Chain A
Amino acid sequence: MPPYFWLALLLLAVAFLLRVDFIFYILYVLVGVFLWSRWFTPRAMRNLTAARTYRRRAFLGETVEVTLTLTNKSRLGLPWLQFHESVPPELRLEEPPQRVVSLGGRQTRQHTYQVKGLQRGYYRLGPLRLTGGDLFGLAKSRLGYLPPDYLTVYPRIVPLSQLGLPSRLPFGTIGSHQRLFEDPARPMGARDFRSGDSLRQINWKATAHTQKLLVRTFEPAISLETMILLDLHAADYERRDRLYWTEWAIVAAASLATHLVNQRQAVGLMSNGVDPLRLQEDARQFDEVTGRLTFDAGAGSQNLRAYMPTPIAPRAGRPHLMKILEQLARLDARQTIPLHEWAASAGVHLSWGVTIVALTGQGDEPRCNALHRLARAGFNPILVAVEPDANFGRVRERARRLGFRAYNLSSRAELERWEEATARPAGVAL
């Protein structure tokens, strides 16, 4: 009981004892203020709407503008409204927006803040907490809540030349005129006739329409479909720099996929890492330091394979690339299944002749043997090792003997090139 409560009682008792009828008027006013405060505050919060507007995906280093819109649908004004938006520390450019404003009747207020994607990941923006109350402190402050939204920051994408891979890889041989690499069942368009073109390829209807000799073009042969096998089994990487090299493998995968889509080729993605988004919604946890969605080891320690991402079948086009990049943004390395065990099952649903780019830590014997089995199964495997290896020549030689090629992305020159690429302004054009 507050100390002034007894004083209020004393005041009333004195007024009634001395028969001051005017005390009724004062009581009416006090009760009116009390009832208004009790009635109006929850009603005002119910008539309040909030919305968050922003681009849901961002490239690394890109700034995203987030707009919070608060609308009071009631005719009566809200004397004060405090809002606080939670922003992941990794994305912060400024302190998290928290302000107190007043909203008039039917008034809308907007507040804008900016975030910047400095690390790939799947981040949570919000929740927006709203607090409103009355003018006299007679009613409890009411809380409102706008559920969080999510922002995906894509992994870094660097040009393929800077990755240290040769530009004349099999999946880079666009414009091949050898029939072996063309699939007549997959017409792609038409072009002017050139000397040497087969008469069977002439598109007669288009020629008649344009009065110009045109020939059909076809998509590259089926063997030019590429599947990226991203090895994120934690044990396949050196423990000391595991985080660094797995990130580098993801960057390489994203860059390869972007390059291939830019070349209008079909590309897919498979990984033996874990996708935190496959966790139950209530089991998802965001890292307190970075604000990024992380895979909680305790949540899925029983059967980590269940949290491996769904394979993305090879397709061409930018929407498909966005899908691949989104998945790459979320992946984490865990002790799931080694590449040499997983590779065989990975190629089950792939067409014959597909190029399989296996991105892994090192090219040891089990992994080479697994790729050899893929080669014997009719695929075109390529080994890309991302960890430094002083004796990578032996790996390359072993791979050559086993019928596939091997590349290492971790030489000093390549890393320097990569560092140059990272030092450049973000926003690499796709």
Chain B
Amino acid sequence: MSRRRPRPIRNKGVIAAARAQRAPTPGPRRPFQTDPWTRRLVRPVLIAALATAPAIALLVLVTILNPGEPWLTLAWFCFFVALEGASTAAWLNNPDSRGVDRFAYRAAEVFLLIVLARIVSWLLFGDGLPSPDEMRVYLAAPLSFFLTGGFFTTAAVALIAWYLAVTAGRIFSQMDAGHEEVAYYTLSLSEQKAKVDDRPITTSRGLLQDQYLRLWLTVGTLMVIMAALSTFQVGQFLTESDVLEIARLGLAPAMLFALLLYFLAGLWLLSHARLLRLNFQWLADGVGKDAELERTWQRAALTLLLAIALVAAFLPIGSTLGISHILRLALNAVLYVAGLIYAVIGFLFAALLGPFLGSAEEMPTATPQPLPTLIPPPVAATPTPTPNPTFAFVVSSAFWALLIALIIGALLFFLRERGYRLELEQVRRTWRTVGQQVRGLWLRLRRRVRVAGITLRQRLRSPAPPAGDAPAGPARGLRRPGPLSPREQIRYYYLSTVHRAGERGVPRADSETPLEYVHDLKQEWPEAESELDELTQAFVEARYSPQPIDKPAVARVKEEWKRVRERLRRSARRP
């Protein structure tokens, strides 16, 4: 195999010069700023509100059908789910998220939302945390954990809100100027010409806006139907043949709120869509823009909508009765005409088929013979098989294990794709640290138990102290001096001495200072006069002086304290 030598480029200078001539000098970028608050806050909240409104309407219907449960409380959960869906739709539209497997990500997201819905329904419609009996039931029959009406309603309503939020969020994310578009169109004209091959493919913003309008109006129609349904007397559905004649109630406040929220948020989003369309037009035309414009736009849209909504609230609400009658008549007329056409077609069809069916009509009709009645043979009652408890335990355990693994897997996948990665090394480090602390705690506990056991044995062996005498241990509530600081150790020594002296019949009055109290002690135990003085002086310094206390000083005080303690013990043993 022959190796071909690389062909040398002889005209490097010419090529470099041509490249330099072709590549224009990068000029200043055109000023085009977007407002991050509009994208990160206003838009997701608006989309979430828009998606929550139909969920509220559904919850109102559910409340009418099944009163007694706090269904409307689920609106907050729906809002949270919709907010999550809208923000995820925007995140998935980022260039950094292009590599994410959307189907798997959405599946994990839906799965986690269902799990969350179960927890929420458990908290809202259950009796708080499950009792051990309930837990046993859940463990033995896992499906009973899910087969509840509250959970189904919560999951369905939340997923509807989520779907609407994701759909609207995707439309608005695509309508917004993408990163590639901003990067290309903010170049100077000469650079744009040089990089014309990198020109991003533009999306038709008009079509996207039409998509949003269709979605808004379609769901709006459904909202109106739900609002109408919520006003009917449910009990009359069984007795009244004409649906429109059923007695009607007023709109529930929650339904009113849902309608208001839906249409006002939708109008605000319509204004936002207009802004996004113009944004792209300005970007492509090289029109400079500040971020302040978008903030002003949102403020103006909100102010205008609120003002018009306020004014409209004072206008008289008309009656739809007349128009409804007209529409019903028109509808009946249309149905009548349709029936007429259907009858004519049927008649013509029958007339065409008449000659072919004439012989058949002449044939005598056979009189139907009564069929013999079949008496079913008596069936022996089959005994219901008793479930094998071991098999049921294995199945339920496998189910729960699989479910927990799925939840953990979905959670890890969801978080990992969002950039929250699990650092195994850090987990190991944390695990080691926690293990060491637990081990240390365990060792300390064991040592204390051993010491306590020894002390107890000694006490059991030693004669019982005289009545009224306190045990000779350290003061109750005082900690051992081991882990204390030098200053606290000295306080411990002094206070334990005071406690012990109190038990020996020389209590310290509340009004006594340490220096006054030491006189009492010295009168009682004159043989320990110097030690008591030293101990008191060390305590006063430790208590009131800011000077640092070194360990040798503590050791000295400890020696003094031991001697005082010995004297006090000896005096206790004296008859």
Residues of A within 8 A of B (CB): 2-4, 7-8, 10-11, 13-26, 28-30, 32-33, 36, 77, 79-80, 82, 84, 95, 98-102, 104, 133, 135-137
Contacts and interface: CB of A to CB of B under 8 A. Distances in A.
Interface string B293-335: 1001100110011001101110101111101100110010000
B24 interface: no
Given A20-B231, A22-B256, A26-B259, 10 more contacts: A14-B224, A15-B228, A17-B327, A18-B224, A20-B224, A26-B263, A32-B312, A82-B287, A98-B286, A104-B296
CB-CB nearest 10 A-B residue pairs: A18-B228, A28-B312, A7-B217, A32-B308, A4-B213, A102-B296, A99-B288, A137-B274, A16-B323, A19-B320
25 contacts: A2-B210, A4-B214, A7-B218, A11-B224, A19-B228, A19-B321, A20-B251, A22-B256, A22-B259, A28-B312, A29-B267, A29-B308, A36-B308, A79-B297, A95-B30, A95-B188, A95-B189, A95-B286, A99-B31, A100-B282, A101-B293, A102-B292, A102-B297, A135-B300, A136-B270
A16 B328 CA distance: 10
Nearest to B313: A25
Interface residues of B, number: 61
Contacts of A80: 278, 293, 297
A377 B516 CA distance: 137
Contact of B293 (A8, A21, A26, A102): A102
A417 to B, nearest CB: 34
Interface string B256-269: 10010001100100
A11 B287 contact: no
A305 B319 CA distance: 81
B274 to A, nearest CB: 4
The secondary-structure label for the interface of chain B is: helix
Given A7-B217, A95-B30, A99-B288, A17 B317 contact: no
Contacts of A135: 271, 274-275, 297, 300-301, 304
Contact of B227 (A7, A22, A24, A99): A22
B490 to A, nearest CB: 71
Given A95-B189, A102-B296, A136-B267, A11 B274 contact: no
A10 B290 CA distance: 40
B323 A33 contact: no
B290 A101 contact: yes
Contacts of B301: 79, 135
Contacts of B343: none
Q: Most A CB atoms within 10 A — which of B256, B277, B285, B287?
A: B287
Contacts of B317: 21-22, 24-25
B277 A137 contact: yes
A104 B188 CA distance: 31
Contacts of A17: 324, 327-328, 331
Interface in B208-257: 210, 213-214, 217-218, 220-221, 224-225, 227-228, 231, 244, 248, 251, 256
A240 to B, nearest CB: 29
